[in-house]
């Protein structure tokens, strides 16, 4: 009964306040309220026009900057990766345009893209049966590659198999064992290899994409699993760079491999990331970040959270 009276009094008070407002608005305060509202609406229109003008200028400046970077790409990166061999790794959902742009930029820098491999969604096991199948493949291929058997850990035991098959300290070497490992992974529908004759590379560039899904925990688990793959590639060669478009789009409602890599302290000390790969600036940053990796450095670059700078140090000409 007390609650009912309380709500009744509240409702009556609201209606009384509305009635008083209507009376005052229609009477002595009518003119001042109308003038105030007119001034505020006029000011809002002026503010909107000013913001629209600023946005148009910013868009024009950004577009012009991108056009310049695109046109000057070869001069900006030319010769910075001469002699380097790169394994291009496409994570699930990687945008074809981003892959093409990064590959062309690497080539313009003087690098040779010696392999292109797509990692399938099945790389992240969905259940215990899939994990057991991957463990069996990993045991066989680790033995073939001369790798120690994997211990009990949360890391996918196939990460080192994949990395060792694609990368080697002595780049440019052929490997029958490496080709056999990739064939086994492809037969299990875990990867798709576009390279007929495998040549091991010295470094790797991974192109990722936002991970979507209805379950947050599953998205985060996939991102974390793909980060460990990037870390394995970094360990096996002269360095690796993970690139994605999260810095530009924000990727609301999706998990990010780049963000996951940056949030892990151990990974971020070894693996470089670029979060604006859709822009010419980001594609050039991939090259400069790889130059830095080969020299023993590391950094997180782009427009998103957790960056160390907007772009890597510019190599000496």
Co-location of 128 and 266 in the same domain = yes
Give the distance from CA 294 to its chain's centroid: 21
Phi, psi of 153 (to 5 degrees): -160, 170
Co-location of 86 and 63 in the same domain = no
Co-location of 35 and 142 in the same domain = no
Total number of domains constituting the chain:
2
Pull the structure tokens for residue 264.
Answer: 């892990």
108 is a domain residue: yes
310 is a domain residue: no
Co-location of 221 and 254 in the same domain = yes
State residue 1's pLDDT score.
Answer: 46
| Per-residue pLDDT tens digits of the chain, which is 317 residues long | 445 565 565 676 676 666 656 655 555 555 666 677 677 777 787 778 777 777 777 676 666 666 766 666 778 899 999 999 999 999 999 999 999 999 999 999 999 999 999 999 999 998 999 999 999 999 999 998 888 887 665 578 899 999 999 998 765 556 777 889 999 999 999 999 987 678 899 999 999 998 988 888 899 999 999 999 999 999 999 999 999 998 666 556 678 999 999 999 999 999 999 999 999 999 999 999 999 999 999 999 999 889 999 999 998 87
Co-location of 132 and 196 in the same domain = yes
Give the global pTM. 0.78
Co-location of 117 and 226 in the same domain = yes
First to last CA, the chain: 83
Residues 138, 144, 150: CA angle, nearest 5 degrees: 35
53 is a domain residue: yes
Co-location of 139 and 118 in the same domain = yes
Co-location of 55 and 106 in the same domain = no
317 is a domain residue: no
CB atoms within 10 A of CB 202: 23
Co-location of 56 and 91 in the same domain = no
Of 81, 86, 90, nearest in space to 113 by CA: 86
Of 27, 171, 17, nearest in space to 86 by CA: 171
Co-location of 94 and 131 in the same domain = yes
State residue 59's pLDDT score.
Answer: 72
CA dist 252 and 127 (Å) reads: 27
State residue 248's pLDDT score.
Answer: 67
Range of the domain at 38: 2-67
Co-location of 19 and 101 in the same domain = no
Pull the structure tokens for residue 306.
Answer: 């957790």
142 is a domain residue: yes
State residue 61's pLDDT score.
Answer: 65
Q: What is the per-residue DSSP string for the chain?
A: -HHHHHHHHHHHHHHHHHHHHHHHHHTTTHHHHHHHHHHHHHHHHHHHHHHHHHHHHHHHHHHHHHHHHHHTHHHHHTTTTTT-EEEEEE-TT--HHHHHHHHHHHHHTT-EEEEEEEEPGGGS--SHHHHHHHHHHHHHHHHHHTPPPP-SSSS-THHHHHHHHHB-SSTT---HHHHHHHHHHHHTTSEEE--SS---BSEEEEE--PBP-S-HHHHHHHHHHHHHHHHHHHHHSS-EEEE-SHHHH--TTSB-HHHHHHHSHHHHTT-EEES-TTSHHHHHHHHHHHHHHHTT---EESSSTT-SBSSPPPPP-
């Amino acid at each position: 009964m007390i609650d009912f009276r309380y709500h009744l009094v509240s409702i009556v008070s609201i209606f009384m306040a509305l009635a008083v407002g209507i009376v005052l608005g229609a009477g002595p305060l009518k003119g001042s309220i109308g003038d105030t509202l007119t001034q505020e609406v006029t000011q809002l229109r002026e503010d909107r026009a000013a913001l629209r003008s600023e946005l148009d200028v910013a868009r024009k400046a950004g577009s012009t900057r991108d056009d310049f970077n695109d046109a000057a790409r070869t001069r900006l990166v030319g010769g910075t990766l001469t002699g380097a061999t790169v394994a291009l790794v496409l994570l699930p959902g990687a945008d074809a345009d981003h892959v093409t742009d990064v590959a062309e930029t690497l080539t313009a820098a003087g690098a040779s893209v010696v392999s292109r491999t797509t990692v399938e969604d099945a790389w992240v096991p969905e259940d215990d049966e899939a994990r057991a199948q991957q463990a069996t493949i990993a045991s066989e291929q680790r033995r073939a590659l001369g790798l120690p058997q994997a211990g009990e850990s949360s890391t996918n035991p196939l990460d080192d198999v994949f990395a060792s098959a694609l990368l080697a300290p002595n780049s440019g070497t052929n490997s029958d064992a490496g080709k056999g490992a990739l064939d086994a992974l492809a037969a299990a529908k875990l990867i798709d290899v576009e390279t007929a004759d495998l040549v091991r590379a010295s470094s790797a560039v991974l192109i990722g994409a936002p991970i979507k899904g209805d379950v947050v925990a599953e998205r985060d688990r996939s991102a974390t699993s793909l980060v460990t793959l990037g870390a394995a590639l970094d360990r096996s060669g002269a360095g690796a760079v993970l690139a994605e478009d999260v810095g530009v789009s924000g990727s609301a409602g999706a998990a990010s491999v780049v963000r996951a890599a940056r949030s892990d302290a151990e990974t971020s000390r070894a693996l470089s990331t670029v979060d604006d790969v859709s822009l010419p600036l980001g594609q050039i940053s991939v090259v400069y970040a790889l130059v830095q990796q080969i020299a023993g450095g590391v950094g997180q670059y782009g427009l998103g959270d957790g960056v160390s700078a907007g772009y890597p140090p510019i190599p000496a000409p």
